[in-house]
Amino acid sequence: MTKIHELDTPAVLIDLDRVEANLRRAQDYADANGVKLRPHIKTHKLPLFAKRQMELGAIGITCQKIGEAEVMVEAGITDILLPYNILGQPKLKRLLTLARRASIKVTADSTTTIQGYSETFSGSGLTLPVLVECDTGGGRAGVQSPEEALGLARRIADSEGLRFAGLMTYPAKGMVAQANAWLERAKALLAEAGLAPEIVSTGGTPDLWHSNENQAATEYRPGTYIYLDRFQVQEGVGGFDDCALTVLATVVSRPTETRAILDTGSKSLTSDTLGLSGFGRIVEYPESAIVSLSEEHGIVDLTHSAAKPKVGEMVRIIPNHVCPVTNLFDEVTFVRGDAVVDTVPVSARGKVR
Amino acid sequence: MTKIHELDTPAVLIDLDRVEANLRRAQDYADANGVKLRPHIKTHKLPLFAKRQMELGAIGITCQKIGEAEVMVEAGITDILLPYNILGQPKLKRLLTLARRASIKVTADSTTTIQGYSETFSGSGLTLPVLVECDTGGGRAGVQSPEEALGLARRIADSEGLRFAGLMTYPAKGMVAQANAWLERAKALLAEAGLAPEIVSTGGTPDLWHSNENQAATEYRPGTYIYLDRFQVQEGVGGFDDCALTVLATVVSRPTETRAILDTGSKSLTSDTLGLSGFGRIVEYPESAIVSLSEEHGIVDLTHSAAKPKVGEMVRIIPNHVCPVTNLFDEVTFVRGDAVVDTVPVSARGKVR
How does DSSP assign B64-81, residue by residue?
SSHHHHHHHHHTT--EEE
* Nearest CB partner across the interface for A252, out of B8, B87, B259: B87
CB-CB neighbors (< 8 A) of A11 in chain B: 352-353
Distance (Å, whole) CA A204 – CA A220 = 8
Q: Do B87 and A312 touch (CB under 8 A)?
A: yes
- Point out which residues pair with A155 in neighbouring strands: none
- What's B4-11+231-345's CATH class? mainly beta
Q: Is B160 exposed, middle or buried (0-12, 13-18, 19+ CB in 10 A)?
A: exposed
Please report how the helices B146-157 and B176-192 are oriented relative to each other, as an axis angle in degrees rounded to 10: 50
User: For residue B241, what are the contacts with CB-CB under 8 A and spacing of at least 6?
Assistant: none
Alpha-carbon separation of residue A3 from A13, A283, A330, B209 (angstroms): 12, 17, 20, 49
b/e burial code for range A131-160 (CB count within 10 A of at least 16 → b): bbbbbbbbebbbbeebebbbebbebbeebe
Distance (Å, whole) CA A334 – CA A12 = 9
Residues in chain B: 353
State the best of A253, A323, A330 to mutate against chain B, taking most chain B CBs within 10 Å.
Answer: A253
User: For residue B109, what are the contacts with CB-CB under 8 A and spacing of at least 6?
Assistant: A253, A255, B85, B132, B133, B134, B135, B141, B142, B143, B152
Reduce the DSSP state of residue B195 to 3 states and report it.
Answer: coil
Q: Please give the torsion angle defined by the CA atoms of residues B138, B142, B145 and B149, in that order, rounded to the nearest 10 degrees.
A: -140
Average pLDDT over residues B42-56: 98
Q: What is the CATH number of domain A4-10+231-345?
A: 2.40.37.20
Q: Give pLDDT, residue A335.
A: 98
B177 C-beta neighbours (distance < 10 Å), count = 13
Shortest Cα distance, chain A CAs vs residue B122, angstroms: 20
| CB under 8 A, 24+ apart: contacts of B54-58 | B56/B23, B56/B24, B56/B27, B57/B27, B57/B30, B57/B31, B58/B27
Q: Do B270 and A268 touch (CB under 8 A)?
A: no
Q: Do A112 and B84 touch (CB under 8 A)?
A: no
- Point out which residues pair with A164 in neighbouring strands: A130
The dihedral sign for the CA sequence A292, A328, A2, A233: positive
β-pairing verdict for A79-85 and A103-108? parallel
Q: Do B353 and A8 touch (CB under 8 A)?
A: yes
Mean pLDDT, all residues of chain A: 97
* A&B contacts, CB < 8 Å: 160
Alpha-carbon separation of residue A118 from A64, A143, A161, A295 (angstroms): 20, 19, 5, 44
Give the Cα-Cα-Cα angle B203, B209, B214 (nearest 5 degrees).
50
Q: Where are the beta strands (DSSP E) in A113-189?
A: 128-134, 162-169
Residues in chain A: 353
Distance (Å, whole) CA B115 – CA A352 = 43
Checking if the pLDDT of B130 tops 90, the result is yes
Is residue B219 within 8 A of residue B187, CB to CB? The reply is: no
A335 C-beta neighbours (distance < 10 Å), count = 25
Alpha-carbon separation of residue B110 from A60, A69, B84, B85 (angstroms): 52, 47, 11, 8
CB-CB neighbors (< 8 A) of B139 in chain A: 259, 299
Average pLDDT over residues A75-88: 98
Tell me the fold of B16-226.
TIM Barrel (3.20.20)
Q: Which residue has the higher pLDDT, A62 or A175?
A: A62
Closest CA to B60 of B266, B253, B221: B221
Using pLDDT thresholds of 50, 70 and 90, give the confidence band for residue A258. very high
Give the Cα-Cα-Cα angle A162, A91, A133 (nearest 5 degrees).
50
Alpha-carbon separation of residue B346 from A120, A212, B16, B205, B328 (angstroms): 32, 45, 15, 21, 9
CB-CB neighbors (< 8 A) of A327 in chain B: 267, 295, 328
Average pLDDT over residues B87-95: 98
Checking if the pLDDT of A173 tops 90, the result is no
Checking if the pLDDT of B43 tops 90, the result is yes
| CB under 8 A, 24+ apart: contacts of B340-343 | B340/B1, B340/B2, B340/B3, B340/B4, B340/B6, B340/B7, B341/B16
Distance (Å, whole) CA B169 – CA B102 = 23
Q: Tell me which DSSP letter residue A335 carries.
A: E
Average pLDDT over residues B303-316: 98
Residue B309: left (phi > 0), alpha (psi -120 to 50), or beta?
Answer: beta
Using pLDDT thresholds of 50, 70 and 90, give the confidence band for residue B1. confident
Checking if the pLDDT of B64 tops 90, the result is yes
pLDDT tens figures, B12-21: 999 999 999 9
pLDDT tens figures, B131-153: 999 999 999 999 999 999 999 99
pLDDT tens figures, B192-233: 999 999 999 999 998 999 988 889 999 999 999 999 999 999
Checking if the pLDDT of A212 tops 90, the result is no
Is residue B270 within 8 A of residue A321, CB to CB? The reply is: no
Shortest Cα distance, chain A CAs vs residue B32, angstroms: 31
Is residue A155 within 8 A of residue A123, CB to CB? The reply is: no
Question: Can you give the residue ranges of every domain in chain A?
Answer: 4-10+231-345, 16-227
Q: Do A353 and B296 touch (CB under 8 A)?
A: no
Q: Do A296 and B109 touch (CB under 8 A)?
A: no
Q: Do B8 and A353 touch (CB under 8 A)?
A: yes
Is residue A114 within 8 A of residue A155, CB to CB? The reply is: yes
Distance (Å, whole) CA A60 – CA A104 = 10
Closest CA to B4 of A175, B129, B15: B15
Closest CA to B205 of B350, B33, B42: B42
Distance (Å, whole) CA A234 – CA A275 = 11
Give the Cα-Cα-Cα angle A221, A225, A230 (nearest 5 degrees).
130
Q: Do A327 and B8 touch (CB under 8 A)?
A: no
Checking if the pLDDT of A214 tops 90, the result is no
Shortest Cα distance, chain B CAs vs residue A32, angstroms: 31
Average pLDDT over residues A196-218: 93
Q: Do A271 and B268 touch (CB under 8 A)?
A: no
Q: Give pLDDT, residue A252.
A: 98
Percent of chain A with pLDDT over 70: 100
Q: Is B34 exposed, middle or buried (0-12, 13-18, 19+ CB in 10 A)?
A: exposed
Q: Do A271 and B270 touch (CB under 8 A)?
A: yes
* Nearest CB partner across the interface for A140, out of B116, B297, B324: B297
Distance (Å, whole) CA A335 – CA B155 = 39
CB-CB neighbors (< 8 A) of B255 in chain A: 109, 135, 140-144
b/e burial code for range B267-306 (CB count within 10 A of at least 16 → b): bbbbbbbeebebbbbbeebeebbbebbbbbbbbbbbeebe
Shortest Cα distance, chain A CAs vs residue B48, angstroms: 22
The dihedral sign for the CA sequence A233, A237, A240, A246: negative
Q: Give pLDDT, residue A174.
A: 86
Q: Give pLDDT, residue B7.
A: 97
β-pairing verdict for A128-134 and A103-108? parallel
- The identity of residue B96, as a single letter, is L
Give a three-class secondary structure readout of A264-299. Answer: CCHHHHCCCCCCCCCCCEECCCCCCEEEEECCCCEE
Is residue A205 within 8 A of residue A222, CB to CB? The reply is: yes
Checking if the pLDDT of A257 tops 90, the result is yes
Q: Give pLDDT, residue B13.
A: 98
Please report how the helices A89-99 and A111-121 are oriented relative to each other, as an axis angle in degrees rounded to 10: 50
Average pLDDT over residues B73-85: 98
Q: Do A270 and B270 touch (CB under 8 A)?
A: yes
Q: Give the architecture-level CATH label for domain A16-227.
A: Alpha-Beta Barrel (3.20)
Distance (Å, whole) CA B105 – CA B199 = 10
Q: Give pLDDT, residue B174.
A: 86
Shortest Cα distance, chain A CAs vs residue B137, angstroms: 12
Shortest Cα distance, chain A CAs vs residue B82, angstroms: 12
* Nearest CB partner across the interface for B296, out of A84, A256, A329: A84
Residue A253: left (phi > 0), alpha (psi -120 to 50), or beta?
Answer: beta
β-pairing verdict for A339-345 and A289-293? unpaired
For residue B52, the Cα-to-chain-centroid distance in whole angstroms is: 16
Please report how the helices A16-33 and A47-55 are oriented relative to each other, as an axis angle in degrees rounded to 10: 40
